[in-house]
Amino acid sequence: MANAEKTSIRIGLLGCGNVGAALASLLVDPSAHETLVRRAGVELELVAIGVNDPNKVRSQESWFPIHLLTDNVDAIVDRDDIDLVVELMGGLEPAGTLIAKALASGKAVVSANKALLAQRGKDLEELAQAQRRDLAYEAAVAGAIPVIRTLRESLAGEAIYRVMGIVNGTTNFILSKMTAEGLAYDEVIAEAQRLGYAERDPSADVEGYDAAAKAAILAGLAFDTSIDLEAVHCEGITKLRSVDLAYAAKMGYCVKLLAIAERIGDGISVRVHPAMVPLHHPLASVDGAMNAVFIEGAASGPIMLYGQGAGGLPTASAVLGDVIDVARNLVASTYQQPPRRHASLAMKATTDLVSEFYLSIEVLDEPGVLAKVADVFGTHGVSIRSMEQTGLGDEARLVFVTHLALEHAVAATIADLKNLREVEAVGGIIRVVGNDQEAQ
């Protein structure tokens, strides 16, 4: 066991944005050095930082290791004297090729790259397994929140039946603000962009793509399978209206963008969509840019993990936890075997799912309208749990919450409602979750 006498783990870092710069600072911070060595059981030595532009300023800290910056990223994964590569570049390429090369040359890898792991995680894990090296990625989902380790280790003995996460801080910030201040999406997104909470092109966040990649990673671990990211149903928040958020609040709900992975019979459902969550549900109190993941297991009961899902330091903290774990394993000449993913489980079509639904309908304020509308629900077997009518001058707004109903029956109901002369518009349509917390 060649590694048995190791007194130092040499680390090459790929990428030095917010997270990379924070990690580099934590690794070389002189005041934290003794603690790191004690906890890792070995010296952690940062020896190279690969970036596009080595001349860019990364940190104001006096101890930031400027001399380690290099634009030769390929050389880092090729170096024989590096034990561990930390990939914080993001994006599919060149990150994917660099990680594969690092593993192939016997290096352990820590990554926070959700897009890459959602799309090529299984292949990279197989490569890591063949090389008997660690591939750790706690920071790929929900920043500082220890959800990957919880699914892989703490809940290893658990029959998990559902994972629901608020895993995108940008959209949670926007929804919290729309709810608290009664503002429209367009107003809040503009402010979020001004404050730096949203990108100039916010589509990865607001259309739910970022959450979908995280849903795929969580589902894969919860259900020991491999998820086709293309098959993840994905709805964003851009069509949500503040009037619907206000109705939700009045009825005792808040609206959250949820990443959901759920066991359904022999198959699974993996999806991202806005959802009405009862205010007494633990996810309802997760406000602003905070993230949380709610896990339901047959024996464990509900577990919620809450914290900062993004940001340089919180994400770097999770990366550093992985680095220490991997360093301990390298010293012990061992590694954590990747999950044994069995064949893909059947992905249930969203149209075959059962949910409660909130629907808001604008109708002409005439006698008999409610009867006609209710008749359409009945025709499709959609049972109404509650209804509220609000006058709007010549029109009225009907707000319904259904009992559990099949998605395709609700879709057919909506299509028929739109054909009624008396229906001006079918507005907000939002699934309701969390009322059946104990079900399954």
Among 4, 299, 343, 371, binds a copy of itself (CB under 8 A): 299
Q: Is 337 in the site for a copy of itself (CB under 8 A)?
A: yes
Strand-strand pairing, 354-364 and 395-402: antiparallel
Tell me how many residues contact a copy of itself (CB under 8 A): 58
Query: Judged by CB under 8 A, does residue 144 bind a copy of itself?
Result: yes
Query: Which span sits near a copy of itself by CB under 8 A: 102-110, 154-162, 198-206, 244-252?
Result: 154-162
Under the criterion CB under 8 A, does residue 208 sit at the interface with a copy of itself?
no
Identify whether 214 is a catalytic site residue. Answer: yes
Does position 112 bind a copy of itself by CB under 8 A? no
**Binder of a copy of itself out of 95, 145, 353, 398 (CB under 8 A):** 145
Ranges within 158-197 binding a copy of itself (CB under 8 A): 158-159
Write the single-letter amino acid at 426. Answer: V
What does the block give as tokens for 132?
């008997």
Angle, CA of 20, 332 and 155, to the nearest 5°? 70
Minimum distance, C-beta of residue 12 to a copy of itself, in the bound complex (Å):
17
Task: With CA atoms as reference, report the closest residue to 58 among 44, 45, 69, 42.
Answer: 69
Q: What is the rounded CA–CA span in Å between residue 66 and residue 59?
A: 9
28-67: contacts with a copy of itself (CB under 8 A): 32, 35-36, 38-41
Q: Does 259 engage in binding with a copy of itself (CB under 8 A)?
A: no
- Selecting among 177, 214, 256, 348, the annotated active-site residue is 214
| 342 binds a copy of itself per the rule CB under 8 A | yes
Report the distance separating Cα 65 and Cα 63, nearest Å: 6
- Shorter beta-carbon distance to a copy of itself: residue 239 or 342: 342
Q: What is the DSSP letter of 32?
A: G
427: enclosing H helix or E strand: strand 423-432
Of 199-207, 212-220, 329-337, 362-370, the window that binds a copy of itself (rule: CB under 8 A) is 329-337
Q: How far is the CB of 321 from a copy of itself (least distance, A)?
A: 5
- For Cα atoms 189, 191, 195, give the angle at the middle one, nearest 5 degrees: 115
Q: Shortest Cβ distance from residue 420 to a copy of itself (Å)?
A: 42
Tell me which residue of 88, 90, 70 sits closest to 79, measured CA to CA: 70
- List the beta bridge partners of residue 253: 278
Nearer to a copy of itself, 35 or 389 (CB): 35
Residue 99, CA distances (Å) to 8, 50, 104, 423 in order: 21, 13, 8, 55
In whole angstroms, the minimum distance from the beta carbon of 159 to a copy of itself comes to: 7
Q: Report the DSSP beta bridge partners of residue 271.
A: 233, 260
| 55 Cβ contact partners less than 8 Å away, ≥ 6 residues apart | none
306 binds a copy of itself (CB under 8 A): yes
Which residue among 285, 344, 435, 437 contacts a copy of itself (CB under 8 A)?
A: 285
Rule CB under 8 A: choose which of 92, 180, 332, 415 binds a copy of itself: 332
Which listed residue (45, 282, 416, 427) binds a copy of itself by CB under 8 A?
A: 282
Minimum CB distance to a copy of itself smaller for 157 or for 196: 157
- Measured between alpha carbons, how far is residue 236 from residues 256, 274, 406 in Å? 10, 7, 21
Mark out the alpha helices in 86-222 (DSSP H runs).
95-104, 114-131, 147-149, 169-181, 185-195, 203-206, 209-222
Of 111, 113, 131, 150, the one binding a copy of itself by CB under 8 A: 150
Q: What is the DSSP letter of 381?
A: T
Rounded distance, CA 329 to CA 134, Å?
8
Question: Would you say 413 and 382 are in contact if contact means Cβ atoms under 8 Å apart?
Answer: yes
Query: Where on the chain is the footprint of a copy of itself (CB under 8 A)?
Result: 22, 26, 32, 35-36, 38-41, 138, 144-146, 149-150, 153-159, 224, 282, 285, 297-308, 311, 313-314, 316-318, 320-321, 323-325, 328-329, 332-334, 336-337, 339-340, 342
Catalogue the active-site residues: 214
